[in-house]
Amino acid sequence: MWQNVPMTTPKTDSGKEASEQRAATQLRQVADGFDLDGLEQRARATVQHLQQTICAAIERIDTGATFRLDSWQRQGGGGGLAGILSDGNVFEKAGVNTSVVHGELSKEMQSALPGDGESFFATGVSLVLHPNNPYVPTTHANFRFLRRGRTAWFGGGADLTPYYPFVEDAAHFHRELAQACDRFDPRFYPRFKAWCDDYFYLRHRQETRGVGGIFFDYLQADDPQVMPFWEAAGQAFLPAYLPIVERRKDQPFGDRQRRFQLYRRGRYVEFNLLYDRGTVFGLRTDGRVESILMSLPPLVRWDYDVHPEPGSEEALLSDFLRPRDYLREVAGS
């Protein structure tokens, strides 16, 4: 069986926290005359269209289930649309949610959020896909826009969490995201990949959540290339993920692989409840709890004192739970 031991080299969070603080403090108010209201509307339309596109693509590849769409309202202002697919042929659970929320910030959130004043606006699409087959990786993506006063910014990203990893799958996922980044700035991909590796790190387990992807936040809203990049990153998600699903969804598996998948899902739950910024923001701004926690898998295990047998398929995962340059590895092979 498996032992619950550190799988990578210990690391601190000081670099991550410093990087995020720098990015947040570099935000400024948008330029005079900039149409921030128009940008809000465009961002709202983008996340709604992305939800529709992703839900339709997931239904096509799954063939066994469709999304339940659940509209909700937030007491303080705004609401959203939760899309949940359950017990499909390919996906055990898939959640693709949008929200458009606004209102007054609590004193706690006023001290935590950049900008000025008590009012805020936020819209975004957030998704987590939990497959049935352990050889298909779980994935997460989020693309969001936030405004407080005349300060506004974009954030988001996508990451991949395999249970039985393949270098070629990780490289494909990174390649599609890198191409979206490179269309705008060759510095984006290395910067946002490193940010992703730092962000999706479980310090109490001393391992990354998976093989990473990209993560970005606090991108200045009135920078002319930021919103087009944000839209392109969202559009890159399906080409990055679906070919991996097609490649792995029919691979045979048994009870051993299923048990390991459920055990590793525990790490996913731990990250989302302990560290995830979206979870914290949603709960602290009185968001809809069912939508916020839709990212959690339907089944999970926490087995005591387990470790992969040396040389087993399960033991291979440990070498992927650290930052790696998959594009260079594949290019050099």
CA 174, CA 245: separation in Å to the nearest integer?
Answer: 15
Question: Does the active-site annotation cover 307?
Answer: no
Residues paired with 143 in a beta bridge: 125, 156
Q: How many CB atoms lie within 10 A of CB 109?
A: 16
- Tokens (6 digits) for 17: 């926290």
CA 176 to CA 213: how far, in whole Å? 10
By three-state DSSP, how is residue 245 classified? Answer: helix
- Three-state DSSP class for residue 213: strand
Tokens 């975004």, residue located: 124
What's the alpha-carbon Rg for the chain, to the nearest Å? Answer: 19
Catalytic residue among 130, 140, 172, 174: 140
Residue (of 78, 80, 77, 60) closest to 69 by Cα position: 80
Two tokens, residue 309: 């047998």
Partners of residue 152 on adjacent β-strands: 147
* Strands ordered across the beta sheet of 212-220: 68-73, 78-86, 91-104, 119-131, 138-148, 151-161, 212-220
Contacts of 186 (CB under 8 A, 6+ apart): none
CA distances from 160 to 113, 137, 211, 214, 296 (A): 28, 7, 6, 10, 15
Tokens of 20: 């995020």
Decide the pairing of beta strands 78-86 and 91-104: antiparallel
Length of the chain measured in residues: 333
Residues known to be catalytic: 140
